[in-house]
């Protein structure tokens, strides 16, 4: 038998982390939640494909009129980004039936210049029909007046804000990201908290602390679950990007990938902070039943951050989004949205990161002391002040 060695802090932390990983990846709840999240992502992309993407379509019934009207309708549709399909109908009665049956979106009675619709014509439909009829009438009158070929100058188009579409996609990706971030932070925060209470309620913590310091145990737990959480969010990011590219949802893959990378980077910071806070809060109680009470304040912060993040997507430059994107704890869910919207200077990101890192250091140091003081005290809920005092004792 080889002689037992003295262990360094890093080795102890790795042992604890290894146990966390080994225990979790065999836990059914963990496996199921991971699979469900991935399925939700794929489903969301598929729904995006089915509803949002592609051009609008419109079926227009036509009674009378000639080929030039059909061409004009289709040309108008193209100008307005609508796939117009013209259905030739025999008479007004047939047109009425077709509209009633919703076989067509509207029916044009060419002779009367009248558009039949079911309830009201959509703006585009009316514009298409009006445009087509008007264009033909003008052409007819010009031709009647003896002016055949008319030289109409073609308008050249220069897009001043070509990024707008890409920005939009990045923001959608960022909102997705915020939802994922929030879900994973809550999920892994719960895992950490449950793990801490399990060690306390089963009293195994006394045996653990006979071989290591509280901070080593805390660090091991956070790192172990952190590796899993990071693996999960990277897997989600990869699946989302691949699915989005495969289904042709995005036009600018580079932007999507950079947004995913930003979300993952903020997840690391957010996870470190929330995991430490959840662990320290959990150390104050000894029973799983008491957990909800001590986790409540932090969970509330996370929920608030989530809603601000979603709100920031619609108003990334707004005061609320700007201020909260610096506040540690809120920034991981707000800053990625602002970054995706492209309205943030580098120094702003740097400031938010620095503040967040400072907050993490503070929580780990102060929280670590509370954690140390509270671990060996069982019974009811311990006050933070008592835990700090006990740590010094």
Partner 1 sequence: MLEFDGLHKSFGEVRVLEGVGFTVAPGSMFGFCGSNGAGKTTTMRIAMGLVRSDAGEVRWQGRPMDQASRRRVGYMPEERGLYPKMKVGEQVAYFARLHGLDAVAATKASEDWVERLGLGPRRDEQVEKLSLGNQQRVQLAAALVSRPEVLILDEPFSGLDPVGVDSLADALLGQVREGVPVVFSSHQLDLVERLCDSVGILARGRMVATGTVEELRRRGAGRLLRVVVPDAAPGWADGLGGARVVSEQAGDTLLELSPDTDDQSVLGAALRTGRVTHFAWQQPTLVELFREAVATPSTEEVAA
Residue closer to partner 1 (CB basis): 311 or 378: 378
**d(C-alpha 302, C-alpha 317), whole Å:** 21
Close Cβ partners of 6 (under 8 Å, ≥ 6 residues apart): none
Phi first, then psi, for residue 59 (nearest 5°) are -105, 125
Q: Which H helix or E strand runs over 365?
A: helix 346-375
Contact between 147 and partner 1 (CB under 8 A)? no
**d(C-alpha 203, C-alpha 286), whole Å:** 9
**Span of 7-15, 56-64, 86-94, 335-343 interacting with partner 1 by CB under 8 A:** 7-15
Residue 51 is encoded by which pair of tokens? 């509803």
What residues between 37 and 76 interact with partner 1 by CB under 8 A? none
Provide the phi-psi class of 206: left if phi over 0, else alpha when psi is between -120 and 50, else beta.
alpha
Q: Could you identify the residue written with the tokens 């929330």?
A: 274
Nearest to 31 by CA among 191, 192, 182, 186: 191
Q: Could you identify the residue written with the tokens 């970054």?
A: 339
When binding is defined by CB under 8 A, the residue of 82, 108, 212, 374 that contacts partner 1 is 212
**Span of 2-10, 35-43, 340-348, 362-370 interacting with partner 1 by CB under 8 A:** 2-10
106-109 and 114-117 as β-strands: parallel, antiparallel, unpaired?
A: antiparallel
Residue closer to partner 1 (CB basis): 66 or 206: 206
CB of 389 to partner 1, least distance (A): 9
When binding is defined by CB under 8 A, the residue of 118, 203, 381, 383 that contacts partner 1 is 203
Residue closer to partner 1 (CB basis): 157 or 210: 210
Contact between 378 and partner 1 (CB under 8 A)? yes
Q: Could you identify the residue written with the tokens 């029916």?
A: 107
**Span of 114-122, 126-134, 205-213, 299-307 interacting with partner 1 by CB under 8 A:** 205-213
What residues between 84 and 143 interact with partner 1 by CB under 8 A? none
Residue closer to partner 1 (CB basis): 23 or 190: 23
**Span of 151-159, 184-192, 195-203, 241-249 interacting with partner 1 by CB under 8 A:** 195-203
Contact between 301 and partner 1 (CB under 8 A)? no
Contact between 199 and partner 1 (CB under 8 A)? yes
Could you write out the DSSP letters of every residue in 31-66? HHHHHHHHHHHHHHHHHHHHHTSS-EEEEEEEES--
Size of the site for partner 1 (CB under 8 A): 27
Residues in the chain: 393
CB of 203 to partner 1, least distance (A): 3
Which positions touch partner 1 (CB under 8 A)? Answer: 1-2, 4-7, 12, 15, 19, 23, 198-199, 202-213, 376, 378, 393
């Amino acid at each position: 038998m080889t002689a037992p060695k003295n262990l360094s802090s890093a080795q102890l932390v790795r042992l604890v982390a290894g146990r966390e990983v080994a225990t979790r990846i065999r836990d059914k709840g963990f496996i199921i939640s991971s699979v469900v999240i991935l399925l939700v992502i794929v489903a969301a992309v598929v729904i995006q494909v089915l509803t949002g993407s592609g051009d609008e379509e419109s079926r227009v019934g036509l009674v009378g009129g000639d080929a030039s009207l059909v061409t004009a309708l289709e040309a108008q549709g193209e100008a307005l980004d609508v796939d117009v399909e013209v259905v030739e109908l025999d008479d007004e009665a047939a047109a009425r039936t077709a509209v009633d049956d919703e076989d067509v979106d509207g029916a044009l009675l060419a002779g009367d210049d009248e558009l039949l619709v079911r309830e009201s014509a959509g703006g585009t439909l009316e514009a298409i029909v009006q445009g087509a009829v008007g264009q033909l009438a003008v052409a007819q009158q010009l031709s009647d007046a003896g002016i055949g070929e008319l030289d109409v100058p073609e308008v050249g188009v220069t897009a001043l804000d070509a990024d707008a579409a890409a920005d939009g996609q990045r923001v959608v990706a960022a909102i997705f990201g915020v939802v994922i971030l929030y879900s994973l932070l809550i999920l892994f925060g719960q895992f950490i908290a449950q793990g801490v209470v399990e060690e306390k309620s089963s009293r195994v913590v006394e045996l653990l602390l006979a071989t290591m310091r509280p901070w080593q145990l805390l660090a091991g737990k956070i790192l172990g679950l952190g590796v899993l959480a990071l693996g999960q969010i990277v897997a989600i990011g990869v699946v989302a990007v691949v699915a989005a590219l495969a289904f042709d949802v995005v036009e600018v893959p580079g932007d999507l990938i950079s947004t995913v990378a930003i979300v993952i980077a903020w997840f690391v910071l957010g996870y470190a902070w929330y995991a430490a806070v959840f662990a320290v809060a959990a150390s104050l109680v000894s029973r799983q039943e008491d957990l909800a009470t001590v986790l409540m304040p932090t969970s509330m912060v996370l929920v608030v951050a989530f809603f601000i993040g979603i709100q920031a997507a619609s108003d990334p430059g707004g005061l609320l989004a700007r201020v909260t994107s610096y506040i540690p704890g809120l920034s991981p869910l707000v800053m990625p949205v602002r970054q995706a919207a492209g309205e943030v200077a580098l120094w702003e990101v740097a400031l938010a990161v620095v503040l967040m890192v400072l907050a993490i250091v503070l929580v780990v140091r102060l929280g670590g002391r509370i954690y140390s003081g509270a671990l060996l005290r069982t019974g009811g809920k311990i006050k933070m002040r008592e835990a700090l005092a006990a740590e010094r004792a």
